[in-house]
Structure 1
Amino acid sequence: MDDVTERFGYRLKRAAAALRGAMDKALREHDLTVPQYACLELLDQQPGLSNADLARGTFVTRQSMNVVLRGLQADGLITRPATTDHGRALPASLTDAGRERLDRARAAVYAIDQRLTEAVPASRRAQFLADLDRMADAVSPG
């Protein structure tokens, strides 16, 4: 039997777990979780996203994102209308406090991302990113 630690899936999971651990630690100092931070990042780039859009963009279920959004709203970091004129989606937006928290946390997260980037030789980065995309596509449904 093959050594599982030499398989691509194992190595990807190991890297993902290391990234998640580093992000958890860094974001704890900003009183945020990784899903909360990811949600704030997406809302900064695309204000008005729905719960479903945010769930897809942060790789969590809609139910989990609903919990994340309620927590961010309770902390005054986002706003969502109580009702909407268009369907059931309640578009979310950052508050000033949310933008300030995001800005502080972003520096810590980007420093982690920079460490990841520097771990791959500059001459191989574009190919490595393309390889990761192909791997994701190879196992994605439909």
Structure 2
Amino acid sequence: MTDTVFPTIGYLAWQLSQNIAGRLERELRALDLTLAQYNALLHTVRTPGLSSADIARRSGVTAQSMGAAVNHLIGRGLLRREPHPTSRRSMCLFATEEGHAVGTRADAVAGRITAEATSHLPAADSATLRRLLYRLVEELNPDSLAPGVRSEGVRPEALTGRERP
């Protein structure tokens, strides 16, 4: 193997993801959340009315895993289900008031972990990294991002990682 082949961008991105996800998973335990539950809550807060299957696709997990996460959140009173307005087979998910509050606390944890992970980078490098990752995800899985926001529309403070994860 040569340095030009290994480590690849995918490997480096995977390592970064594993590091941040591991830390996030450990710290979310204080809020009684798993990563899948945090993703379900995050997507439901940002895009009310999604189905569990929609959230699974956006999060890159199986429908079964997301179903378990959603059921846990419903049992805790953080999400509620409502019938879909046009499909009898689908249910829409909405965050409750408490779900919004827990989501805000979880976002703060995620933001702190992201800031810590990139703290050794100059602010300009951190902003560049975030912008480039955003553009890649925007092309590969645009549904996983906030609806209707394109990378060129992202506010500069959001690119630094200081606002939201």
Same-fold status (TM-score > 0.5): yes
Offset at residue 131 of structure 1 (A)? 3.6
AA at the equivalent of 1:2? T
* Aligned pairs (5 A) from 1:1-142: 1-2=1-2, 6-81=7-82, 83-87=83-87, 88-133=89-134, 140=140
More displaced stretch, 126-135 vs 50-59: 126-135
Q: 2-side partners of 1:117 and 1:111: how far apart?
A: 10
More displaced stretch, 65-74 vs 119-128: 119-128
AA at the equivalent of 1:115? E
Query: Structure 1 regions of 5+ residues with no counterpart?
Result: none
Q: Determine helix, strand or coil for the equivalent of 2:92.
A: coil
Offset at residue 52 of structure 1 (A)? 2.3
Q: 1-side partners of 2:131 and 2:78: how far apart?
A: 35
Q: 1-side partners of 2:108 and 2:77: how far apart?
A: 21
List per-residue Cα deviations over 1:60-99 (Å, max 9, x = no partner).
Answer: 1222211111111112111103x44421220001112222
* Aligned 8 A contact 2:79 2:93 in 1: yes
Provide the aligned length of Structure 1 versus Structure 2: 139
Q: 2-side partners of 1:96 and 1:137: how far apart?
A: 30
Query: Structure 2 regions of 5+ residues with no counterpart?
Result: 142-165
Q: 1-side partners of 2:57 and 2:63: how far apart?
A: 8
AA at the equivalent of 1:91? C
* Aligned 8 A contact 2:36 2:65 in 1: no
Q: 1-side partners of 2:31 and 2:78: how far apart?
A: 12
**Structure 1 pair 111/43, CA: closer, same or farther in 2 (3 Å)?**
same
Offset at residue 41 of structure 1 (A)? 1.4
State the superposition RMSD in angstroms: 2.5
User: Which has a greater percent of helix?
Assistant: 1
* Aligned 8 A contact 1:23 1:34 in 2: yes
